[in-house]
Structure 1
């Protein structure tokens, strides 16, 4: 496993948790590989406010305090693992089999710390669609993503088109030119 892929996947897992998404294949695989049970809603409810603030800090390029608070509450336990196919050694931030809150807190905090410190392969953004509070991991080639989903991108594009059309019609109406 490439270390950058590990950071990216943990960041995706973190964003999924913060966005309140249903468990994805990535999440199920991560938890299964590390002998972690799916956290109960009450466990997530305790962890999510700190995670949400930390993800927002990364997406908005600071302040770093929410990440430091998360690291303080869930300090990573760095060790080398060889659990993957082929037994290639790679770093982990939490021990397999820990409680879901500890494992998620440690793993997510360490990944977000890497990202805010400038990991070049992982970028977190905040959806630019009006009324959307979701985050996303931008893995586009030029890091130009602006929306959490195609739905938000399409909704924004349609709204902009309709606004331009209304402006053209209003301008045409006020000038008496109806050829638009």
Structure 2
């Protein structure tokens, strides 16, 4: 596993949790590989708010304080792992740990890398009106502006209609 892929996948996991998405295949596979049970939503609520604040700070180029607070609340337990047969790589939490602690430690460490400018991982906030969801931008030139094709299409159509209306009003 490439370290950057690990950071990117943990960042995707954090974004998925903050957006309130249904568990993805990535999330299920992460939990399976690391012997983590799907956390109870009530337990997860303890983590989601500070996670959202950290992701918002990254997406909005805000202060680093929310990421540091997340690291303080969920300090990583960095160690070398060989669990997947692909050689040694760093982990930020122990396999089989309590789910919220594992997610908190892992995501806090990944987001710390991202806010420090990991060049292959970036987080954005959807630019569609009234959306505000987050996304991991893995486009080649880091120019993504929307969380989904639906938001991009809705915005494009709205802009087209506004231009057409303005042109006919003249």
Q: Which aligned pairs between 1:1-180 and structure 2 lie closer than 5 A?
A: 1-86=1-86, 88-171=87-170
Q: State the distance in 2 between where 1:129 and 1:62 align.
A: 20
TM-score for the superposition, normalised by structure 2: 0.99
Deviation, 1:133, is 1.5
CA RMSD of aligned residues (A): 0.6
Deviation, 1:68, is 0.4
Gaps of 5+ in 1: 172-180
Q: State the distance in 1 between where 2:141 and 2:109 align.
A: 25
Deviation, 1:167, is 0.2
Deviation, 1:62, is 2.0
Gaps of 5+ in 2: none
Deviation, 1:85, is 3.2
Q: 1:104-146: CA deviations, max 9, x gaps?
A: 0000000000000000000000000000010000000000000
Question: Structure 1 stretches (4+) deviating beyond 4 angstroms?
Answer: none
Q: State the distance in 1 between where 2:84 and 2:163 align.
A: 53
Larger radius of gyration: 1
Partner SS state of residue 146, structure 1: coil
Partner SS state of residue 85, structure 1: coil
TM-score for the superposition, normalised by structure 1: 0.93
